[in-house]
Amino acid sequence: EAGVAQSPRYKIIEKRQSVAFWCNPISGHATLYWYQQILGQGPKLLIQFQNNGVVDDSQLPKDRFSAERLKGVDSTLKIQPAKLEDSAVYLCASSLESSGNTIYFGEGSWLTVV
């Protein structure tokens, strides 16, 4: 079974520029997550989708971050404009359902803002 796919793996941008990350979850997984992991910390949930609807985006900085999951499959996370503190690994993950299930993570997209 194919895992969660993410791209690009690495990105370096200047502050105030924009960046987009793409994610394709495991086939059949209804729930898709975007997490931000800052070096030395645990993953912080940015947004959670159930099919193509948003379940939780309470920690998403909506003035600069946006995410969509068209057709309930793959998803894009965008940052515009980027700030230095956005330097982190952006982890996409998926699970069969939204509660109590194992979450399967992609390898992450490493963002450095300079």
Partner 1 sequence: GNSVTQMEGPVTLSEEAFLTINCTYTATGYPSLFWYVQYPGEGLQLLLKATKADDKGSNKGFEATYRKETTSFHLEKGSVQVSDSAVYFCALSGTGGFKTIFGAGTRLFVKA
Q: Is residue 25 near partner 1 by the rule CB under 8 A? A: no
Give the range of 12-20, 38-46, 70-78, 79-87 binding partner 1 by CB under 8 A. 38-46
What is the residue type of 49?
A: F
Task: For residue 95, give the nearest of 58, 45, 37, 59 by alpha carbon.
Answer: 45
* Residue 45 found at the interface with partner 1 (CB under 8 A): yes
∠ CA 63-67-73, nearest 5°, is 170
Sign of CA dihedral 90, 95, 100, 103: negative
CA angle 44, 14, 85 (to 5 degrees): 30
74-103 mask for partner 1 (x: CB under 8 A)?
-----------------x-x----xxxxxx
Q: At 8, phi and psi to the nearest 5?
A: -75, 165
| Interaction between residue 30 and partner 1 (CB under 8 A) | no
Note whether 41 binds partner 1 by CB under 8 A: yes
Binding of partner 1 at residue 1 (CB under 8 A)? no
- Among 20-28, 37-45, 67-75, 80-88, the segment contacting partner 1 (CB under 8 A): 37-45
Assess 26 for contact with partner 1 (CB under 8 A).
no
